[in-house]
Structure 1
Amino acid sequence: MGHQIAMLSALGGFETVLQDVQEPALKKAEEKLHGILDKWVGKGRLSDDQKAAAFSRLQFTTDIGAAANADLIIEAVVEKLDVKKEVFSKLEAIAPEHAIFATNSSTIVNSLLADVTNRPDKFVNMHFFFPPLVMDCVEVVMSDTTSEETAQIAMDVCKQMNRTAVLLKKEISGFVANRILGALQREAVYLYENGIADFKDIDIICRKALNHPIGPFELMDLSGIDVGYFVMQQRYKETGNPEDKPFACIEEKVKQGHLGRKTGKGWYDYSGEGVKR
């Protein structure tokens, strides 16, 4: 998520810094971005000069101190509340007072993070969808303390990035898209765990009968099964509702390290060419 959001920013004309704690992750991110933009150039979506200009505006660093010169910081770390709080606590000590803090969290509302900073009025959700360089939507979410100015700047930045932003003026865990997707996923897993249908057949029905581009189990593999697992864990912590607990089959996948496309195996096997269904 982070490297593609950074490239959206660079393509939008912003001087951008992509920071990660691991140098190999930055190298991999740079390689992936070159691969994506090379394909765009090959298809005529982007010129060589535009690609070069975007990369000239994008820096890669392991130094979180780069935040000292930032006007807007978008966090895209693992979907765990304590990790995000630790990151923003560090950023609070580094970033200038005027800087806006945005979390790309797909579930965690910004009011749960703002208390580790002194700028709750400058805190907002900017939820990009995966993969950001393809998906044309951003959920911008305000808390009770997010200022109108902060929300408007976030909306303007999305526009500059050539992304359609939708403003939600009231917080709710999961926002809009993931609450709807979550309901679909819960029913799909219920049908699978109760032996009503195999996960492959459920995906087929969703694709063929409902005209979904991919089925719910394919989507879990694409997004990362661990990401969904962490989201369910966080939701359960917030609500205490047993229905929000991670599903047994999802927990099993995480324990096995079968996290989807990124590990080569999830619900489907990606170790060979294509998807083995």
Structure 2
Amino acid sequence: MENNEIKQVAIVGSGAMGSQIAMVCALAGHLVTLQDIEPESLVKAKAFLHEQMEKRVVKGRYTREEVDNAFKRLNFTDNIEDLSNANLVIEAIAEKLEAKRELFAKLDKIVAPHTILATNSSTIVSSKLADVVSHPESVCNIHFFNPVLVMEMVEVVKGPHTSDETAEKSMAFVKSIRKTPVLLKKEISGFIANRILGKLMDEALFLYENGYATHEEIDLVCKKALNHPIGPFALMDLTGIDVNYFVRMQRYNESGDEQDKPSRIVTEKVKKGELGKKTGKGFYEYDEKGIRVEVTV
């Protein structure tokens, strides 16, 4: 199986995840189209990527030529019809099942029959999307980790409908963009990393909500005692507190178990619009550049 079978890649959703996935693919030499229904989101994504890549040029991680060439390979569009030539489409929109099903149904009418349709979701397994397309054997999960520009691991998940060829091509593609793939032979919500991380998140929220320690102290323990690079509350701020909320609601909708619902504090934060770094406030506060504001008492 040759890596170059996938040459044109499309990413749907230009948020933090989608935009970074697009840039990683472009840096690896693929022709990439980043699509979003909101033109303003595409403008923000382009500015964000230029800012991030400029920092990496200054630090010597990439040359100016490498970055300039990557941007030449990266197209921004709000027209979903522009994805028709893609060999692989990666969906990176909000964690809402119906929205993803609607998108996959649209993509099915646009792309070629052999095109791989992948979701970046780690909560919604691809079998929940495969029945709306004509070629379910070409549907799978390709799950990146935030920040995509930094994190090396990618989980590729084979659903009961996913062909061996699709899984093999997806694994080869991940290697072609200089990431390390792991193949899950069957579906399970949360996959590997987030199932383990979810247990830690649940315990951290329990300790915080019941007054055992502050969120700052819990983050500090995780960093200094467990040697984690980032604490659970800072991580929720980075990925978006609403992501945690939608993941837990999806789990609750599937199980009906009250214990699967989002925690009280997460629900309160979402209702207030305090979603983390992207809104300037979550468990911590951030300035207009996204840098954490140290609060002194």
The two structures have a TM-score, normalised by structure 2, of: 0.91
What letter is aligned with 1:67? Answer: L
Q: Determine the C-alpha separation between the residues in 1 that align with 2:246 and 2:292.
A: 27
Please state how far the C-alpha of 1:274 moved relative to its aligned partner. 3.0
Q: Determine the C-alpha separation between the residues in 2 that align with 1:27 and 1:228.
A: 26
Q: Determine the C-alpha separation between the residues in 1 that align with 2:228 and 2:206.
A: 19
Q: Determine the C-alpha separation between the residues in 2 that align with 1:198 and 1:40.
A: 34
- Please list, as runs of the form range in 1=range in 2, the aligned pairs for 1:32-51 lying within 5 A after superposition: 32-51=48-67
What letter is aligned with 2:274? Answer: H
SS at match of 2:143: strand
Q: Determine the C-alpha separation between the residues in 1 that align with 2:224 and 2:56.
A: 30
Q: Which residue of 1 aligns with 2:8?
A: none
Q: Determine the C-alpha separation between the residues in 1 that align with 2:198 and 2:71.
A: 36
Q: Determine the C-alpha separation between the residues in 2 that align with 1:116 and 1:50.
A: 39
Structure 2 unaligned spans of 5+: 1-16
Q: Determine the C-alpha separation between the residues in 1 that align with 2:99 and 2:270.
A: 19
Please state how far the C-alpha of 1:199 moved relative to its aligned partner. 1.6
Q: Which residue of 2 aligns with 1:13?
A: 29
SS at match of 2:234: helix
The two structures have a TM-score, normalised by structure 1, of: 0.97
Q: Determine the C-alpha separation between the residues in 2 that align with 1:74 and 1:254.
A: 26
Q: Which residue of 2 aligns with 1:276?
A: 294
Q: Which residue of 2 aligns with 1:200?
A: 216
Q: Determine the C-alpha separation between the residues in 2 that align with 1:28 and 1:176.
A: 31
Matched, 1:187 2:203: yes
Q: Determine the C-alpha separation between the residues in 2 that align with 1:98 and 1:136.
A: 27
Matched, 1:263 2:270: no
- Farther-moved stretch of structure 1 (196-205 vs 253-262): 196-205
Q: Which residue of 2 aligns with 1:163?
A: 179
Q: Which residue of 2 aligns with 1:57?
A: 73
The ranges of structure 1 where at least 4 consecutive aligned residues each deviate by more than 2 angstroms after the TM superposition are: 271-277
SS at match of 1:124: strand
- Farther-moved stretch of structure 1 (45-54 vs 122-131): 45-54
Matched, 1:127 2:143: yes
SS at match of 2:226: coil
SS at match of 1:139: strand
Please state how far the C-alpha of 1:232 moved relative to its aligned partner. 0.4
Q: Determine the C-alpha separation between the residues in 2 that align with 1:214 and 1:53.
A: 32
Q: Determine the C-alpha separation between the residues in 2 that align with 1:35 and 1:10.
A: 16
What letter is aligned with 2:265? Answer: C
Please state how far the C-alpha of 1:241 moved relative to its aligned partner. 2.1
- Farther-moved stretch of structure 1 (66-75 vs 198-207): 198-207
Please state how far the C-alpha of 1:262 moved relative to its aligned partner. 0.5
The one of 60, 78, 88 equivalent to 2:94 is 78
What letter is aligned with 2:18? Answer: G
Deviations 1:87-112 (A, max 9, x none): 11111111111111000002111001
What letter is aligned with 2:88? Answer: L
Deviations 1:238-263 (A, max 9, x none): 12222211111100000000000110
Q: Which residue of 2 aligns with 1:98?
A: 114
Matched, 1:23 2:16: no
Q: Determine the C-alpha separation between the residues in 2 that align with 1:141 and 1:216.
A: 25
SS at match of 2:246: helix
The one of 151, 174, 184 equivalent to 2:167 is 151
SS at match of 2:147: coil
Give the share of equivalent positions with the same residue, in percent: 55
SS at match of 1:101: strand
Q: Which residue of 2 aligns with 1:236?
A: 252
Root-mean-square deviation (Å)? 1.2
Conserved 8 A contact 2:130-2:161: no
- Please list, as runs of the form range in 1=range in 2, the aligned pairs for 1:107-126 lying within 5 A after superposition: 107-126=123-142
What letter is aligned with 2:269? Answer: K
What letter is aligned with 2:165? Answer: E
Please state how far the C-alpha of 1:268 moved relative to its aligned partner. 0.9
Please state how far the C-alpha of 1:150 moved relative to its aligned partner. 0.3
Q: Determine the C-alpha separation between the residues in 1 that align with 2:23 and 2:85.
A: 18
Please state how far the C-alpha of 1:275 moved relative to its aligned partner. 3.3
Give the number of aligned pairs.
277
